[in-house]
Amino acid sequence: MRLIVYTGKGGVGKTSCAAATALACSRSGLRTLVVSTDPAHSLGDSLQIALGPEPLLIEGNLQALEIDALHETKKQWKSFSSWLNRYFHTGTETIESDELVLIPGLEEILALLKIRTFYKSGEYDVIIVDAAPTGETLSLLSLPDLLSWYLEKTLPNERRIARLVRPVSKPIGLVLPDEEFFDNLESFIAELDELRRILSNRETSSVRLVMNPEKMVVQEARRSYTYLSLYDFPVDAVIVNRIFPSDAGSGYFSRWAEIQAQHLASIEAGFAGLPILRAPLFETEVLGLEMLSRLGAELFRSQAPGKVLYAGRGLSIEKEENGKMLRIPLPFAEKSDITLDQKGNELFVGVGAYRRNVSLPRSLQYMKAAKAVFEDHELLVHFEQKEEVK
């Protein structure tokens, strides 16, 4: 089973690349589903087929859909409403499905749970996700980690308080969440944790960054690579789209061709080690199956579009003479952007505006972070045994 997420700055052609990859996978014999999680859906426009919120057969082994938050809310309404309405009970009023979609973050949660459902169904060999532009995608991918951490921290206390107060709450008309509500939340946490493991599994899942050879786009792709690495999401390729062909780089466009050549050299140097897939600026728009097939042929040539193109190295622990070292790759990060803090059994690592809490494995829980070094685009945290309190 393969899960491939396509993202990039808005307008770089990530939807076309995702659709082209899905088409190439399906025509190679793989049962393929391409899913759009971008609220501003354009997957149907790319395929030139009207899509809905349920899988639609495009051809042969290829199916596609555009996730709709309201549709998913109504579909899952019975499971959500029973405990949300008890939790947010306000007398005779209840939360309706149309109102539920206004809850911040719920749209992203529903998209994640939908992808998890397809992944576990066993109906597909590969799932291609046409995600939102990079900022929203980072929020989407980091949500399981952040939400699971928050719920795991607060849920036990909430449950304990509810058990203590519940016997005296009914006589005064105070409605508290019941045990079924907390059971549902625990199940929800388990689902999010499972999805996080799926997304960070380097043998089955990967992110592909799409960019154009333009300065602002390349800079955003670099930042995205840093933040994806922070959350340990594997990037297995970068795609440089809309490169001027040699016969188009003359006359009026000669300066543009020179600029693109400079950025291509920068991309090759900066993303060295990662496969760099290239696609030209075609003579016409990439719309419909014929043009998507051409795009896929340019991108992958003799490579299998669905395989893991680069595994790389994620977060790892290594033994040292006096302790252990936690290695966190952070490509393109600057030392001045990194913050680090340990609280109990958790390590908090920040890069710019993003922060990740790393739950330390058992082998590090009885050790303290003694020193941290940032070198060769990696954060190296050295742990030593804690001194015994006498």
Q: What pLDDT was estimated at residue 92?
A: 42
Q: Could you say which of 312, 333, 361 is where a domain stops? A: 312
- Cα dihedral 127, 130, 131, 132, rounded to 10, equals -170
> Any residues with CB less than 8 A from the CB of 59 and at least 6 apart, and which?
26, 289
Locus of tokens 């466009």: 253
**Do 21 and 164 sit in the same domain of this protein?**
yes
Q: Is residue 237 part of a domain?
A: yes
**Do 150 and 210 sit in the same domain of this protein?**
yes
**Do 53 and 121 sit in the same domain of this protein?**
yes
Instruction: At 199, list the tokens.
Output: 């997304």
**Do 355 and 235 sit in the same domain of this protein?**
no
Q: Is residue 123 part of a domain?
A: yes
CATH of the domain at 201: 3.40.50.300
Q: Could you report how far apart the first and last alpha carbons of the chain are, in Å? A: 53
Q: What pLDDT was estimated at residue 90?
A: 45
Locus of tokens 């995600």: 131
Q: Could you say which of 297, 312, 327 is where a domain stops? A: 312
Parallel, antiparallel or unpaired: strands 367-375 and 323-329: unpaired
**Do 203 and 97 sit in the same domain of this protein?**
yes
**Do 333 and 303 sit in the same domain of this protein?**
no
**Do 294 and 337 sit in the same domain of this protein?**
no
User: H helices of the chain, where?
Assistant: 14-27, 43-47, 69-75, 77-87, 97-100, 106-121, 134-169, 179-199, 215-230, 254-270, 288-300, 362-365
**Do 160 and 77 sit in the same domain of this protein?**
yes
Q: What pLDDT was estimated at residue 76?
A: 60
Q: Is residue 294 part of a domain?
A: yes
Cβ proximity of 138 and 224 under 8 Å: yes
**Do 353 and 303 sit in the same domain of this protein?**
no
**CA torsion through residues 146, 149, 151, 154, sign:** negative
Q: Could you say which of 258, 282, 312 is where a domain stops? A: 312
φ/ψ region of 185 (left if φ > 0, alpha if ψ in -120 to 50, else beta) reads alpha
Domain count, the chain: 2
Q: Is residue 299 part of a domain?
A: yes
The 10 Å Cβ neighbour count of residue 174 is 11
**Do 217 and 76 sit in the same domain of this protein?**
yes
Q: What pLDDT was estimated at residue 173?
A: 55
- Phi, psi (degrees; rounded to nearest 5) at 138: -60, -40
**Do 291 and 358 sit in the same domain of this protein?**
no
Instruction: At 112, list the tokens.
Output: 């994640």
Cβ proximity of 114 and 72 under 8 Å: yes
Question: How many angstroms separate the CA atoms of 249 and 102, rounded?
Answer: 48
pTM of the model: 0.85
Q: What pLDDT was estimated at residue 356?
A: 87
Q: Is residue 390 part of a domain?
A: no
pLDDT mean by block of 10 residues, the chain; 390 residues: 94 97 98 92 96 95 89 61 52 50 60 87 96 74 67 66 62 62 72 83 95 96 93 95 86 90 96 95 96 98 95 90 92 94 87 86 84 94 74
Q: Is residue 96 part of a domain?
A: yes
Rg (CA), the chain: 24
DSSP letters for 285-301: ---HHHHHHHHHHHHHT
- Domain span at residue 245? 1-312
Q: Is residue 324 part of a domain?
A: yes
Q: What pLDDT was estimated at residue 102?
A: 47
Question: How many angstroms separate the CA atoms of 151 and 123, rounded?
Answer: 31
Nearest Cα to Cα of residue 313 among 376, 356, 220, 365: 376
- Phi, psi (degrees; rounded to nearest 5) at 187: -65, -40
Question: Distance of CA 18 to CAs 6, 324, 340, 367, Å?
Answer: 6, 40, 36, 44
**Do 213 and 122 sit in the same domain of this protein?**
yes
